[in-house]
Chains A and B, each alone.
Chain A
Amino acid sequence: MTQQPRHVVVIGHGMVGARFVEEVARRDPSGERVRVTVVGAETEGPYNRILLPEVISRRLDIADLALPEVTAPGLTVRAGTAATGLDPAARRVALDDGTFLDYDELVLATGARSALPPLPGATDASGAPEQGVTALRDLDDCRRLTALARPGAPVVVLGGGVLGLESARALSELGARVCLVESSPWLMRRQLDQDAARILQARYARLGITVHSWRVAARWLPGTGLELDDGRVLAGDALVITAGVRARVELAKAAGLHVEHAVVVDDTLTTSAPRVHAIGDCAQHPGGGGGLVQPGWEQAAVLADLLTGAAPHARYTGARPATRLKAEGIDLVSFGDAAAEDAETVTVNDAHGGRYAKLSVRDDRVVGAILLGFPDSAAAIGQLYDHESPVPADRLALLLGNAMPETAEAVDPDAATVCRCNAVTRAQLESAWLDGARTREAVAGATRATTGCGGCVRDVNALLATWNNGQPAPAPA
């Protein structure tokens, strides 16, 4: 029985749309179940947006951001083409080149665009950024900022969320003089508590990045800088605005789909229209996950399972929110809700050492954590949180990780194994010595010690030296 492959149309060829195509190709490499058409407005191929700060710091070139190329029998990519209309009843998408695509299943992966706040002087009458102003969302933003930011040049970053902090760090690595302005009372307001944010701010200050929290930008003065609500002016050749994103939902809204702040989807990633799906930043799932790429990738895998029939019972049940700052020299991670009610909490506040750790546990499971400057416990707690595994009894040891002082275990010196490979104890070496073995070769012949990995040669030589010098004499066997 051969069936015509079903036609899946994907709107949007960004990180999540491209990942969906990859996941489909992995499950249906011959294209016998589905053929895929991807419509992408950008003429350049899909790229890795997460690494834009690495281009700003000159660690990577724009060409290094390209995503894996997928070639599959049923795959068509229509770059530089935008969808202009969607008719779910007719299962048809209208494109800006005047053509149409009929689909069996439609996937919206239109993503989000930067939100530019209403800041006088920052945008022109059409809403486009003024001279010196840029977001950091796409390649054009990246090129604009690369042209503006030079070693020694003053740059202002507006927005103290993850992208703002990563951009500020990348700019400072480049050698720019960076200020960061955050309108809420502290940095990463959604992920950190105030104590953690205070330490983070101090660490940024040590890296030469001045943070102005709880300050509202008043206006952008091209050629001069950013004026704050207290009248101070921060010098800036460039203003990088990282003030959040808005889902691209125009197509879905016009088609009458249920849209709140993004296109509402259920656990099968289906919108209010049965054959229309949404994944990534344009989708809104009750379990959250917007704004991070990992949940979008997980959604792409689940939807690929469903639409290829590889796993018809696959479901997306929500994200385990985890935020990991990608900034050279700063180890910061936040999981879940560190201020959860009814949770046991362990907190280490080491402002002097620039470290802060908070762990919230309920029913022996991690419900939230903030870890600044604890790189190895951040990794360990992340695994417990992700796999919902039981937390060990010693919470403080978990929190401190390698920072925990080691406790020495009492060892009986005679029973101690000197040569692991041949299971030779100190007592056996002693009796060999008493029997007349005075050199390492003789001891090796009698006990086999030192003949395996050789790691105990030094220990055996030291014991022999002690005994041969008669201090202290071994106890009689």
Chain B
Amino acid sequence: MTTTHCPYCALQCAMRLEPGPGGALAARPADFPTNRGGLCRKGWTSAEVLTVPDRLTTPLLRENRGADLEPVDWDTALDHVADRLRGLRESFGADSVSVFGSGGLTNEKSYLLGKFARVALGTSRIDYNGRFCMSSAAAAGNRAFGLDRGMPFPVTDLDEAEVIVLAGANPAETMPPLMGHLSAARLIVVDPRRSATAAEALRRGGMHLAPRPGTDLALALGLLHAARLEGLLDADYITERTNGFAQAWRHAAAWWPERAEHVTGVPATDIRAAARALATATGAYVLTGRGVEQHAKGTDTTSAWINLALALGLPGRPGSGYGCITGQGNGQGGREHGQKADQLPGYRRIDDPAAREHVAAVWGVDPATIPGPGPSAFELLDSLGRGDGPRAMLLFGSNPVVSAPDARRVRERMAALDLLVVADFVLSESAAMADVVLPVAQWAEESGTMTNLEGRVLRRRKAAEPPAGVRTDLEVLNGLAVRLGQPPARFPTEPDDALAELRAASAGGAADYSGVTPERLASGEALYWPAPAGGPATPRMFLDAFAHPDGRARFAAVEHRAAAEDTDPEFPLVATTGRLMGHYQSGAQTRRVTELADAEPDAYVEVHPDTAACCGLAEGDWAQVTSRRGATAARVRLRSDARLDTVFLPFHYAGEQAANNLTNPALDPTSRMPEFKVSAVRLRPHATRR
């Protein structure tokens, strides 16, 4: 029996993996502060992913684009990749090769992937799918507090809260065991849909504010306005612990609740009531999720919610605060150790000379050889195979032809590459396009560390040997690096050796892991970063000071602006996308679990009955949903509590049913987050599906 953590979301529920009835491993919940013995259906069924019938156990290679993928041995595959990479680099320069990572990779893999790109390939072209997940909250958190740790407090602190605002977050569906920590509080859920979380809030006497998608920035400004007019702001806190309130207020001043109502559709009385409830609670939290962040103005919208929290004096005090609910399993650690285009390990900036010096010393290279910042995820994907764009891409732990916005365009760009190499354990939709597929170990077949949504570093433990023929990501990186002329010791294959290097590289950085030793992990110590060597970990941040040089938090002077595209007579409805309890991300794993696939076999679209009737659609019909970018097929699910102007689609499905065929790649100017949550669409009966 092995005690480890779930392969999926950032709550990282603890679980035991033990032999089940048929001899295969089965997952059982284990006690841990985040899940307290709970698991959702994804967690319960997670061990089935270890034995999926289409597991890859040999490298695959296609000789040319017309050819099929054929099994080859590892040396053939790695030699081929290394030769092609070397050739492209010599002909077109180091930036002709790119790397795409994932918020699902362990800290050790994230770290070595970044190092591999900068040292073995010398490319600046590296980013990861976390850009589509956490980047807006990270940018807003850095701007406000000088540092971004999703929740700067243990999740158990929420147990005592009196009121919690959940803005654009649906944990009852996406992270069910988290709800156990929200059961005492009165919930104010902000979501265009009557989500499971919103319904739960109403059931318990809370509130559901349902703004039109893309208007929640105006709603947050309206709440700040209402709180101010009710005389509920914390003036002493604003004076002593923050800067910039006056400028931020000047924008919020224009959002009296009646005007916010007009733009958002949330009644002014509800805005006032919510502001009053939040401001007068002892123990209040504002938590944001992807609904706030996945917009072309996601950073400013997150800032508007942080402004509200700051004006009420919540962050940096025991028993109250602001936090973002990280999504992917290692969404937190994945953004700290150098697989992001602009960062080096320890949450250091790649354009900071001191940071480059420090990391170069750990890597044993000349700082001048470390490339500068590269383009962000969507820009990187969109540049593939074009002009100066990369001609090769190495893809780890991600499935962008399903999960990136404007999926059709991403598919076209990936098809335009000279060389696509995908490391995965099944033939995902992206792997199926690859020239070389490298079969790698998964979650319970290797060890490493993950950093959960609270910033706590956890031990992921190995419970089974990978199938014969499969290698770990670290072994793949080592194999390629050596073929590219790197000394083998520079790319360790043992996770704890990588961790030792990561600790040195992160030492003194914002996310300092230097004290995260195997011994401390094994002891069960709660290692919230910063966890410096020889010092205590940090469960609660900002209690004395925020991380800006003056110790103060900063209000951001943000103004509402319209979504990147509006509805019009041709595309009269707003489509918004999100997650289901039974699936995770692109569904490459969960669509292979029988129980989960059977529960929700097809993509669906939630529609108000009147809206559906206008489009000639009834319950269960196949609809074609069309945006300016593409179309998707989905079964109609009628919801009488839906907004008339908004339809919802889960994004876990592929091909013709991919919701990301619709989504808009308009990017946030700061975080480079695409606008997943607002697309203008029309709805019609599907031409061929019945």
Which A residues are within 8 Å of any B CB, using their own CB? 22, 48, 50-51, 54, 59-60, 64-69, 294, 322, 324-326, 331, 333, 375-376, 378-380, 382-384, 386-387, 389-390, 392-393, 420-423, 448, 451-455
CA distance A378 to B608 in the complex (A): 19
Contact A382 B262 (CB under 8 A): yes
- The chain A residue sitting closest to B608, CB to CB, is A392
Given contacts A324-B262, A375-B268, A384-B644, contact A389 B180 (CB under 8 A): no
CA distance A390 to B644 in the complex (A): 8
Contact B177 A454 (CB under 8 A): yes
Contact A48 B253 (CB under 8 A): yes
A424 to chain B, nearest CB (A): 10
CA distance A455 to B256 in the complex (A): 36
CA distance A436 to B77 in the complex (A): 55
Q: Which B residues touch A451, using CB under 8 A?
A: 29, 37-40, 44, 177
CA distance A389 to B37 in the complex (A): 47
Contact A421 B265 (CB under 8 A): no
Contact A393 B265 (CB under 8 A): no
Q: Which B residues touch A22, using CB under 8 A?
A: 559
Q: Which B residues touch A50, using CB under 8 A?
A: 256
Contact B645 A48 (CB under 8 A): no
* Interface residue B599 (Cβ < 8 Å from any Cβ of A): yes
Q: Which of B176, B253, B266, B268 contacts A65 (CB 8 A)?
A: B253
Given contacts A48-B254, A68-B247, contact A383 B265 (CB under 8 A): yes
Contact B39 A322 (CB under 8 A): no
CA distance A60 to B230 in the complex (A): 10
Which B residues are within 8 Å of any A CB, using their own CB? 29, 37-41, 44, 171-172, 176-180, 183, 196, 200, 212, 228-229, 231, 246-247, 249-251, 253-254, 256, 258-259, 261-262, 264-270, 557, 559, 567, 572, 581, 599, 608, 610-611, 613-614, 644-645
Known: A375-B269, A452-B40, A453-B178. 4 other contacts (CB 8 A): A50-B256, A379-B261, A380-B265, A451-B39
Q: Which of A331, A383, A392, A453 contacts B212 (CB 8 A)?
A: A383
B370 to chain A, nearest CB (A): 31
CA distance A68 to B247 in the complex (A): 7
Q: Which of A66, A378, A453 contacts B176 (CB 8 A)?
A: A453
Contact B567 A387 (CB under 8 A): yes
Contact B268 A331 (CB under 8 A): yes
Given contacts A50-B256, A68-B251, A331-B268, contact A454 B179 (CB under 8 A): yes
A350 to chain B, nearest CB (A): 17
Contact B250 A68 (CB under 8 A): yes
Q: Which of B41, B183, B265, B267 contacts A422 (CB 8 A)?
A: B41
Contact A322 B262 (CB under 8 A): yes
13 sampled A-B residue pairs with Cβ under 8 A = A48-B253, A48-B254, A50-B256, A67-B254, A69-B250, A382-B261, A384-B645, A389-B572, A420-B196, A420-B581, A451-B38, A451-B177, A453-B40
CA distance A94 to B254 in the complex (A): 33
Q: Which A residues touch B196, using CB under 8 A?
A: 420
- The chain A residue sitting closest to B180, CB to CB, is A454
Contact B557 A68 (CB under 8 A): yes
Q: Which A residues touch B269, using CB under 8 A?
A: 331, 375-376
The 6 closest A-B pairs by CB, nearest first: A453-B179, A452-B176, A392-B610, A453-B176, A375-B269, A383-B265
Q: Which A residues touch B29, using CB under 8 A?
A: 451
CA distance A395 to B80 in the complex (A): 67
Q: Which of A69, A322, A326 contacts B247 (CB 8 A)?
A: A69
Contact A51 B270 (CB under 8 A): no
- The chain A residue sitting closest to B581, CB to CB, is A421
Given contacts A392-B610, A454-B177, contact A324 B261 (CB under 8 A): yes
Contact A376 B41 (CB under 8 A): no
Contact B256 A51 (CB under 8 A): yes
Q: Which A residues touch B614, using CB under 8 A?
A: 390
Contact B262 A376 (CB under 8 A): no
Q: Which of A60, A382, A392 contacts B644 (CB 8 A)?
A: A392
CA distance A161 to B196 in the complex (A): 44
Given contacts A48-B253, A324-B262, A387-B645, contact A453 B559 (CB under 8 A): no
Contact A386 B250 (CB under 8 A): no
Contact B172 A453 (CB under 8 A): yes
Contact A454 B253 (CB under 8 A): no
Contact B567 A452 (CB under 8 A): no
CA distance A455 to B40 in the complex (A): 12
Q: Which A residues touch B557, using CB under 8 A?
A: 68
CA distance A31 to B156 in the complex (A): 50
A406 to chain B, nearest CB (A): 11
Given contacts A454-B177, A454-B180, contact A379 B40 (CB under 8 A): no
CA distance A363 to B268 in the complex (A): 29
B183 to chain A, nearest CB (A): 7
- The chain A residue sitting closest to B263, CB to CB, is A386
CA distance A164 to B309 in the complex (A): 35
Contact A51 B253 (CB under 8 A): yes
- The chain B residue sitting closest to A385, CB to CB, is B262
B9 to chain A, nearest CB (A): 13
CA distance A68 to B171 in the complex (A): 36
Q: Which A residues touch B178, using CB under 8 A?
A: 453
B224 to chain A, nearest CB (A): 12
Q: Which B residues touch A322, using CB under 8 A?
A: 262
Contact B644 A448 (CB under 8 A): no
A391 to chain B, nearest CB (A): 8
- The chain A residue sitting closest to B225, CB to CB, is A51
Q: Which B residues touch A383, using CB under 8 A?
A: 212, 265, 645
Q: Which B residues touch A392, using CB under 8 A?
A: 608, 610, 644
Q: Which B residues touch A324, using CB under 8 A?
A: 258-259, 261-262, 268
CA distance A48 to B259 in the complex (A): 14
Given contacts A68-B247, A387-B567, A387-B645, contact A453 B265 (CB under 8 A): no
Q: Which B residues touch A382, using CB under 8 A?
A: 261-262, 265
Q: Which B residues touch A333, using CB under 8 A?
A: 258
A307 to chain B, nearest CB (A): 19
Q: Which of A48, A69, A376, A390 contacts B267 (CB 8 A)?
A: A376
A348 to chain B, nearest CB (A): 17
Contact B262 A386 (CB under 8 A): yes
